Amino acid sequence: MECERGMGSAVGQEPKVLMTIVSWVKEVAKVPVIVKLTPNITDITRPARAAQEGGGDAISLINTIQSLIGVDIDNFVTYPVVDGKSSNGGYCGPAVKPIAMNMLKNCAQLPDLKIPISGIGGIENWRDAVEFILLGATSVQVCTAVMHYGFGIIREMVSGLERYMDDKGFENLDQMRGRALPNVMHWEDLNLKYKVVANINEDKCIGCQLCYTACEDGAHQAISLSDDPLNRKPTIIEENCVGCNLCSLVCPVESCIEMQRRDDGKEHLTWKDRTLAGNIPVTFNDPLAGGLHHWVPEPAEALTKQTPLHYKL
């Protein structure tokens, strides 16, 4: 209802209007003014800059994301239900943290944005808070975790942050703020020569074969099974492995599958380097293009492949 009256995210989505309202507030405000940004916008840096131009002393982000949380499939209405009807709402909680961190990074990396940032979005424990601070947050704000677990979670958050800072030798928050920002780059600035491959620790492997199925169907067919039906432990086919991480992500055992470095660390070449040198591939016969040094099975092999042992026949 309020949006139609010119408040809320209708304002937050229009940087010029936002700037005007911030300047109205700054005409009279004596205490610092934080401008809370809506994430329901293509480029969060535009309202961030507008907040600064309007005289805002800080920004906070993110507010909630427009969402439908689910559908009651028996009564054909979305949640939460109000007398048989519903409406879109605002999404928050642990699931939005990656979106919030990306928007925080986008603002914190702006060279011309000089005002501090209060980070919001899915923060539930000290580690989440550390991540936000390393990405440039000066303070962090919490809601959903308190609605779930109560105010008591603060004890662990404070002591965990203190312990982390002591371990890392940070005496105060200024020393740790934004420390991850220089390492978040554009894709074109990443080292094309860096090469990792998966390694399965046989002592830790429980033989679930989740990695085999994931690699076989979802990645690069770089894991094989033993011909011995009593040996359920898969093996990495290193020459096929592109180092994508998928097997290590699906593996349910901590540190069982680890990515090991194979390049010698001496070479550094980025896509931008190649572009500037006029050296981007023009044929697929390029060592870095998909057609070379990357084996794929013949299509018909799909019909002869052995059935994984855990598939129901």
Partner 1 sequence: MANLQTNLAGIKSPNPFWLASAPPTNSGYQIMKAFDAGWGGAVWKTLGVPVVNISSRYGALNYRDNRMVGFNNIELITDRPLADNLREIEEVKKRFPDHAVIASLMVETREQWHQIVKDAENAGADGLELNFGCPHGM
Candidates 103, 134, 170, 197; binder of partner 1 (CB under 8 A) is: 170
Contact 193, 273 (CB under 8 A): no
Cis-peptide, bond into residue 62, ω within 30° of zero: yes
Compare residues 21 and 269 and give the one whose CB is closer to partner 1.
Answer: 21
User: Residue 275, CB half-sphere, CA atoms under 13 Å: how many?
Assistant: 7
**Interface region with partner 1, contact rule CB under 8 A, candidates 153-161, 183-191, 269-277, 301-309:** 153-161
Comparison of 159 and 226: residue with beta carbon closer to partner 1:
159
Q: Does residue 148 interact with partner 1 by CB under 8 A?
A: yes
How near is the Cβ of 195 to partner 1 at its closest, in Å?
Answer: 34
Regarding 68 and contact with partner 1 (CB under 8 A), the answer is yes
Question: By CB under 8 A, is residue 77 in contact with partner 1?
Answer: no
If one asks whether residue 289 binds partner 1 (CB under 8 A), the answer comes out as no
Instruction: Give the burial string for 59-97 (b: 16+ CB within 10 Å, else e).
Output: bbbbbbbeeeeeeeeeeeebeeeeeeebeeeebbbeebb
Q: Of residues 101, 107, 134, 138, which one binds partner 1 by CB under 8 A? A: 138
Binding range to partner 1, per CB under 8 A, among 81-89, 184-192, 205-213, 247-255: 81-89
Cα 32 to Cα 224: distance, rounded to the nearest angstrom: 61
Residue 152 found at the interface with partner 1 (CB under 8 A): yes
| Interface residue with partner 1, options 165, 200, 215, 236 (CB under 8 A) | 165
Q: Min. distance of Cβ 112 from partner 1 in angstroms?
A: 17
Task: Choose the binding region for partner 1 from 22-30, 206-214, 221-229, 288-296 (rule: CB under 8 A).
Answer: 22-30
Cα–Cα distance, 129 to 143 (Å, whole number): 13
Element (H, E) at 84: none
Q: Which stretch binds partner 1 (CB under 8 A): 83-91, 208-216, 234-242, 250-258?
A: 83-91
Task: Report the C-alpha gap between 211 and 247 in whole angstroms.
Answer: 5
Nearest CA-CA partner of 38 in 97, 120, 113: 120
- Sort strands 71-72 and 77-78 into parallel, antiparallel or unpaired: antiparallel
Q: Minimum distance from CB of 176 to partner 1 (Å)?
A: 9
Residue 91 vs 271, nearer CB to partner 1 = 91
Distance CA 256, CA 203 (A): 8
Structure tokens at 283: 């044929």
Q: Whole-number minimum distance, CB 115 to partner 1, in Å? A: 7
Judged by CB under 8 A, the number of residues near partner 1 is 88
Contact characters 214-253, partner 1, x per CB under 8 A = ----------------------------------------
Tokens coding 269: 């070449």
95 to 114: interface string for partner 1, x by CB under 8 A: xx------------------
Residue 153 or 269: the one with the smaller Cβ distance to partner 1 is 153
Pick the binder of partner 1 from 43, 98, 127, 166 (CB under 8 A): 166
Residues whose CB is less than 8 angstroms from the CB of residue 232 and which lie 6 or more positions away in sequence, other chains included: 207, 208, 209, 225, 226, 309
CA distance 91 to 100: 11
Given the complex with partner 1, which of 7 and 184 has the nearer CB atom? 7
278 DSSP assignment: T
Closest of 153, 96, 92 to residue 125, by C-alpha: 153
